[in-house]
Chains A and B, each alone.
Chain A
Amino acid sequence: MNASPVIAVTGLHRGDNPQPGSAVIRSLRRVYPELRIIGLVYDSLESGLFSEEDAPDAAFTMSYPGAGEEAFWERLDAIREIERFDVLIPCLDAEMGPLVDAPEKLRERGIHACLPSAESFKCRDKSKLAELCARTHCRTPQTIAVNDVNSLHQAAAALGGNVFIKGRFYEARHAITPAAREAAYWHMLEQWGAPVLVQENVQGEEFNVVGLGDGRGHILGSCSIRKMLRTSSGKGFGGMIIRDPQLDAIAQSLIAELRWNGPFELEFVKSEGPQGEYCLIEINPRFPAWCDFPSSLNCNLPAAAFELAMGWQPREPLRHAIPGKFFIRHAIDMTGDLCDLAALTTIGQFFRQPREFIPYPASSRPH
């Protein structure tokens, strides 16, 4: 164990489908500015590597989840020979499975993590959501898992034709026609593997809850938003903080039932009209990409997750951020250097150097 813990974070790409890693780093540095953070990346062009504000101190390329668990652990060990990190905050759904299924592999390496149990992880799977919601009296859209095109069309017909086709880990496409459904099916299968999910389309406003479970059924802190803006692929691009006791109660009930340990994001649609009900769409087993927004409002969940992983006493009770504050995402261009790209691409690692300052030439315009 290092004198000051070193943290590894994944999911550093903030493109049109932003990953949460950079937001987690930013939140950690709000509380622990001197913390050494390394990025574990799957692509040398993950945008967070080149950020001025939330880049890791060093980065290492990982083996793709498709390469298998053995390759994953081998690569992790090789990285730790160079940079012996103490805490891992995984930020991608696809890498959660191997970690949740084998927590002893983390323990025997001395890596701390704040992860759910394998059982609660499986219970929140998209294909198991209906059972969870039945136990907690929470509404959820009817969802059917399919493995072939015939089942796809049968499922869509059973759900009224107007459906969402969803990938096992990520992505959802609204599909009304058979052709659109098939195209979406093949895309999801290729991207995320089987099964593909066919989900009833519930119309309404979208609400998300980010939080941190203590593993004993309690929520240590949470923040709820209504999505104000969405990209064409349905990703939140802006959100308004709300405080609805009904939504808080549903979230508490779900997390208590799962005895969830670690970060989570609950996604809801509230059906339209005065009697609209919250309908659980999915539970993400990690922080969302907007998790730094509540951190800027004294609800720093990533820092609390780090402290929980280390077994530290929390600094202070987490507050629910004040309704009325909102975030809007803002895409900017960042400058990268070929040296960093080359280091990551050829030897799979790079160590952040102070940025070169390029002064502007003095203006030659006459005054």
Chain B
Amino acid sequence: MKLASLSTRVHSSSQPHDPAQSVSLSAEPASFQFHTVTWQADGFGFDATSGEFFTASPTALIVMQALGEGLPRPQILDRLTTRFEVARSTAERDLESFLAELVHIGLTQDSN
């Protein structure tokens, strides 16, 4: 199992642009607030305070929802290993990598 990247943060750029390219993929830093983002089952997330919207893969969605609920890592791993056929050690490695990526693209402050 490999947690798919969440760098597919879809947001509509408000910079002057060609209207034909109205929606862009971006990994710019955002003021991501777990408690104000609601996720749909298809992986589409919306932050009601910033108006940003996001997409997440099925695996990333499980992690994002768990982070939103404030779950610790062991419980996030429980969810991943229950939902997917994956060794816990593999899931743990991928989760660490994913959390580090969230920090790297500025969606979270730290990976603790």
Which residues of A are at the interface with B, using a C-beta cutoff of 8 A? Answer: 174, 205-207, 225-234, 237-238, 240-246, 270, 272-276, 323-324
Q: Determine the distance from Cα of A229 to Cα of B29 in the docked complex, in whole angstroms.
A: 19
Task: Give B51-95 as 1s and 0s: 1 = Cβ < 8 Å from A's Cβ atoms.
Answer: 111000000000000000000000000000000000000000000
User: Is the C-beta of B106 less than 8 angstroms from some C-beta in chain A?
Assistant: yes
Q: Nearest Cβ in chain A — how far from B107, in angstroms? A: 9
Determine if B109 is an interface residue (Cβ-Cβ < 8 Å).
yes
* Contact A230 B50, beta carbon cutoff 8 Å: no
Write the nearest CB–CB distance from B12 to chain A, whole angstroms. 4
- For A229, what are the chain B residues with a Cβ–Cβ distance below 8 Å? 12-14, 17, 19, 22
Is the CB of B46 closer than 8 A to any CB of chain A?
A: yes
Residue with the greatest number of chain B CB neighbours at <10 A, chosen from A205, A242, A324: A205
Asked whether A272 lies within 8 Å of B29 as measured between CB atoms, the reply is yes
B residues lining the A interface (CB < 8 Å): 12-17, 19, 22, 28-32, 46, 48-53, 106, 109
| B16 A228 Cβ-Cβ under 8 A | no
A273 close to B106 (CB less than 8 A): yes
- CB pair B14 A242 closer than 8 Å: no
Q: Chain B contacts of A234 at CB under 8 A? A: 16
| Contact across chains for B29 and A244 when beta carbons are under 8 A apart | no
| Bound-complex Cα distance A323 to B28 (A) | 22
**Chain B residue at smallest Cβ distance from A235:** B16
How far, in whole Å, are A324 and B109 apart by their CA atoms in the complex?
A: 25
Q: Is the CB of A242 within 8 A of B49?
A: yes
A272 touches B28 (CB 8 A): yes
| The residue from B28, B31, B51 contacting A228, defined by CB atoms under 8 A apart | B51
Chain A residues, CB < 8 A from B16: 174, 230-234
* CB-based contact A230/B28 at 8 Å: no
> How far is it, in angstroms, between the C-alpha of A86 and the C-alpha of B75 when the chains are bound?
66
Inter-chain CA distance A26–B56, complex, in Å, is 39
Bound state CA distance, A298 and B1, in angstroms? 47
Cβ–Cβ < 8 Å partners of A226 in chain B: 14, 50-52
Residues of B with C-beta under 8 A to A276:
31
With A225-B51, A324-B48 known as contacts, the answer to whether A273 contacts B14 (CB < 8 A) is no
Q: Hey, which chain A residues are within 8 Å of B53, CB to CB?
A: 240
